[in-house]
Amino acid sequence: MKRSTWVSASLTGTLAILLAGCAGNQYEAPPPPDVTVALPVERDVTTYGEFTGRTVSVESVDIRARVQGILQQMSFKPGTEVKQGDLLFVIEPTLYEAHVQQAEADLAGADAKSRAADEQLAITQEIFARKAGSKADLVQKTQARDEARAAVARARADLAAAKLDLSYAHIYAPISGRIDRNYVDVGNLVGAGEATLLATIVREKPIFVYFDISERDLLLHPELLGAAAQAGGKPVQVYLGLVDETDFPRTGTLEYTSNRVNASTGTIELRAVFRNSDGRIVPGLFVRVRVPYARGRSLLVPDNAVLSDQRGRYVLVVAARDLVEQRRVEVGPVDAGLRVIQSGLTPEDRVVVSGLQRARPGAPVKPSLAALPAVTAQPSAAPATR
């Protein structure tokens, strides 16, 4: 046999062997990936609205000088608590004490003249009754009596005004609260042509919080409308959180709603009151406010099971024959780690909660059912009342 013929026959045999071996190895698809699914939890959920509010003192009084004079005394420490009736300032009272004494003397003189006019009139009336006096003399003495009485009334009014000015020389706290710094130092002239601002007192316990809601929220939740907003006969509770606080640990009461919507902003003003027993809330702060709107049955799924794309929110559901299906949903707030699903799911849907990266719409999976907790804590459950 020639060498070329032998090589050709050898290659042909080898190729036949290789083809025979390949015919026995067929491709097998990988098994479906494992995923964890859960049925949505169904329970009562309260819907909340969250807003930014501003704090305002329940009472604020500007202390002003109502009489003119040199500021002689300041009887408080700036930034401290004062009580109603505490002496705050003294504006030189000497001049006003002299005015009172002068008014008292004028009243005494007018009173003496009035008594004399009364006696003179009595004598004239007796003479006229005997037909020994003239009618003109009687009229004159009556006029003198009336003018003397008017002078007494005028002197009494001047004395009252003088005492009032003297009282303004001693300035007392009209309310209890925390007083600001003094704006005028002792020794300065105050009240010259204007009611000089001396200090300000604010009462912070309790404290008001003002915030605005949209007209849409107002129409959806009419229980918030009214001078004293109430739902079911009970005051609407409002929750508050400061910048450095987690969630909304403070509880207050909604107690005022404006009687009109602001046409420029499309919002309406509401006011809540908080006890502020620890005194941490001071006027002028921006705070976070949460208002409960409504309570009803809702479906909830883990928040990390809700995905999003340019079209909106969706979840992956294991449908018939264990095929993955993309389901568009409308979502609500997060409640203790579970996201409220407003529409798009049923209680029987198996939602992928773990292994999301292995689940592809239209592809099969191997689901394992996990149970979600039937009850979780509400975000505002038993908040501290402060």
In a domain, 160, yes or no: yes
In a domain, 19, yes or no: no
Whole-angstrom distance, CA of residue 213 vs CA of residue 196: 39
Question: What is residue 22's predicted lDDT score, i.e. its pLDDT?
Answer: 54
Contact predicate 84/78, CB 8 Å: no
pLDDT in tens, 43-61: 888 777 889 999 999 999 9
Whole-angstrom distance, CA of residue 339 vs CA of residue 330: 10
Contact predicate 250/277, CB 8 Å: no
pLDDT band at 23 (very low <50, low <70, confident <90, very high): low
Residues 85 and 105 in one domain: no
Q: Are strands 87-91 and 69-74 parallel, antiparallel or unpaired?
A: antiparallel
- CATH code: domain of residue 226: 2.40.30.170
Residues 339 and 356 in one domain: yes
Whole-angstrom distance, CA of residue 281 vs CA of residue 133: 82
Residues 74 and 191 in one domain: yes
DSSP class of residue 310 equals T
Residues 264 and 308 in one domain: no
**Which of these three, 267, 295, 323, is where a domain ends?**
295
Question: What is residue 376's predicted lDDT score, i.e. its pLDDT?
Answer: 42
Number of domains composing the chain: 4
193, with CB counted inside 10 A (0-12, 13-18, 19+), is exposed
In a domain, 130, yes or no: yes
Residues 291 and 207 in one domain: yes
Residue in 88, 72, 307, 278 with CA at minimum distance from that of residue 180: 88
Contact predicate 229/257, CB 8 Å: yes
Residues 211 and 144 in one domain: no
Residues 309 and 289 in one domain: no
Residues 277 and 208 in one domain: yes
- CATH code: domain of residue 78: 2.40.50.100
Contact predicate 98/216, CB 8 Å: no
Q: Which domain holds residue 147?
A: 94-168
pLDDT in tens, 24-36: 566 677 888 999 9
pLDDT in tens, 180-204: 999 999 999 999 888 999 999 999 9
In a domain, 378, yes or no: no
Angle at 57 between CA 51 and CA 60, to 5 degrees: 150
- CATH code: domain of residue 319: 2.40.420.20
- CATH code: domain of residue 125: 1.10.287
